[in-house]
């Protein structure tokens, strides 16, 4: 399989881009290149010129900003298949956050100049980008709401429900190698000690059980109610 054909298969898995015409997909694929990043490797730094858009094909990444006190604030955690780096490209600004691979990652890289040139030529691409940027705006609106109006327990419950999987008839959230308490705290916009207390509280109230390899959800309905507080 050629690089272009492989990339087109990946692009079709991105919800906002799956309905692009064959002609448009081919035009994007012609300039895409594949790159691999190891766990902990930086993909790009906050403040760097936005020269590329990325399509995440395999692995998890995180985008964060660093506060003046040296604390990480999570912007988003992404898993396949999704697009990142696009906001800076379309606004003509540097990347607003640092993106790091949380595990071995495979991405497709599209030059910013290429995508900006293609947009006026392909209206379906323009509409797909508008939808994607709209979803990003909603993500950040929800992030602001979470950090300013919800407790850590509520944010934790909401995040667990978003990432739940069904295994052998049980609802659980797998704990990957990088899912440490410190990393979970960054994701929730808090610190390790506060997260630990929130987990213990929810466990004591029989909403969940923390295991080494996963977090088992014992009362999803109760968690959903807690997530709204």
Instruction: Kindly report, residue by residue over 150-171, the tens digit of the pLDDT.
Output: 999 999 999 999 989 998 889 9
3-class DSSP state for residue 168? Answer: coil
Domain boundaries, the chain: 3-148, 151-227
Instruction: Kindly report, residue by residue over 136-150, the tens digit of the pLDDT.
Output: 999 999 888 888 889
The predicted pLDDT at position 24 comes to 87
Domain 3-148: state its class: mainly beta
Q: How far is CA 136 from the centre of its chain?
A: 10
Share of the chain above pLDDT 70, in %: 99
Share of the chain above pLDDT 90, in %: 68
Q: The tokens of 28 are what?
A: 């994007």
CA 199, CA 183: separation in Å to the nearest integer?
14
Q: What CATH number has the domain spanning 151-227? A: 1.10.10.10
């Amino acid at each position: 399989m050629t690089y272009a054909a492989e990339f087109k298969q990946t692009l079709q898995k991105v919800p906002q881009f799956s309905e692009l015409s064959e002609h448009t997909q081919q035009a994007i694929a012609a300039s895409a290149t594949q790159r691999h990043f190891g766990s902990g490797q930086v993909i790009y730094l906050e403040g760097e010129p936005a020269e590329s858009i990325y399509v995440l094909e395999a692995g998890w990444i995180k985008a964060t900003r660093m506060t003046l006190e040296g604390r990480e604030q999570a912007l988003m955690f992404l898993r396949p298949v999704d697009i990142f780096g696009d906001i800076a490209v379309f606004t003509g600004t540097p990347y607003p956050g640092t993106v790091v691979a949380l595990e071995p990652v495979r991405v497709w890289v599209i030059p910013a100049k290429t995508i900006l040139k293609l947009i006026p030529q392909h209206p379906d691409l323009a509409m797909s980008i508008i939808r994607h940027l709209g979803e990003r705006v909603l993500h950040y609106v929800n992030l602001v709401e979470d950090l300013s109006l919800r407790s850590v327990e509520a944010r934790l419950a909401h995040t667990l429900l978003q990432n739940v999987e069904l295994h052998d008839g049980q609802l659980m959230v797998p704990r990957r190698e990088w899912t440490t308490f410190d990393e979970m705290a960054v994701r929730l916009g808090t610190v390790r000690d506060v997260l630990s207390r929130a987990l213990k509280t929810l466990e004591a109230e029989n909403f969940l059980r923390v295991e080494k390899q996963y977090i088992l959800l014992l009362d999803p309905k109760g968690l959903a109610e807690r997530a709204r507080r």
